[in-house]
Amino acid sequence: MPAIDLPLPELRAYRGSSPLPADLAAFWDATISEAQQHPLDARFERVETHLPLIETYDVTFAGYGGDPIKAWLHLPARGRGTGAGEKREPLPAVVHFLGYSGGRGLAHQNTLWAQAGYAMLIMDSRGQGYGGQVGETPDPHPSAGGVSYPGLMTRGLLSRETYYYRRIFTDAVRAIEAVQAHPAVDATRVAVHGVSQGGGLAVAAAGLAAGRVDGVIACLADVNFLADYQRALEVATTGPYPELERYLVRHRDHVDAAFATLPYFDVVNLGRAARVPAYFSVALRDTTCPPSTVYATYNNYGEAVDGASPEPVVKSIEEYAFNNHEGGGEHHVARQLAWLSKLLG
């Protein structure tokens, strides 16, 4: 399979094509502040998975608009022969965000980070769970913004107020607050993680948490989605980005409105505000999340959005030269486990 994007030296220098809205921070300040007016009301109900080394809780918390968002919380089990009230040191946590169309799944399905000794919160993606793993969280705003192409990329697209990703990005920030609310968690040591859409959500959460929610210490973003939309439409041939193209094929008069909305939800822009170490991955033959869009995210990550000159943010990226959207797969997971372990000492 041939290379599908820019030559590698150009990729490594590519910074993206998305405009940076002057009122980006003000828009998100208002959005997150409004969400935080609703009590978080994080509830944790123990469930049985028959996995004796993992404690699992069914979680509900208030996301965008106070809407109830589901999640799983997995903890390494307490030692055998000790009571439920056993005291232990607070655990660092990993908040895991899901790929496009997937939901949180069944309680036993994904416990990797808990196996590694962390608290692991898996946030359900509102309105998703129709592909991959099952989901349980509805989006009570499905008709916001009028008609859309099947899928979620164009839902509410014509206004930044109604766009679908305004809601799920806000949910992601509140998911950090939800895991911090559990007494077993060290609220000062929370990492955000995801692949594809989940990688985009991790970058968005790291950027949006900066100055708004304390305690985030790391961002692990694999082959991230939701970046440099104009470039993605020029290169991506598979996955969700073409939903935008198919919508605009019929709605020729909506092009300007769509591209006025999208920069507010471009993680190239949102990640610039992040102040925590990051570990990215990119697949150089990825037709779903083209490498140029991932590099645009990476190259802008950790830069100030207000013209200031902050201390450099520690970041690195793994390149998988022959892989499509599967990226580094299990090999990259092993590297992530080592990277986070080293970061936490």
Contact 253, 186 (CB under 8 A): no
Q: In what order do the strands lie in the sheet with 185-195?
A: 43-47, 54-62, 68-76, 119-123, 91-97, 185-195, 216-222, 278-283, 315-320
Return the residue matching tokens 């055998």. 80
Q: How far apart are the first and last CA of the chain?
A: 41
Structure tokens at 91: 């655990």
Find the catalytic residue in 96, 182, 251, 325.
325
The bridge status of strand 68-76 relative to strand 119-123 is: antiparallel
33 among known catalytic residues:
no
Bridge partners (DSSP) listed for residue 290: none
Gap between the Cα atoms of 133 and 99, Å rounded: 10
- Residue 113 · residue 96 · CB < 8 Å: yes
Q: Does the annotation count 286 as an active-site position?
A: yes
Q: Is 196 assigned a catalytic role?
A: yes
Q: What is the DSSP string of 46-66?
A: EE--S-TTEEEEEEEEE-GGG
Percent helix / strand / coil, the chain, rounded to 5? 35, 20, 45
Beta bridge partners of 73: 57, 121
Catalytic residue from among 196, 228, 281, 332: 196
Per annotation, catalytic residue among 125, 286, 292, 332: 286
* H helix or E strand, kind and range, residue 39: none
Active-site amino acid positions: 196, 286, 325
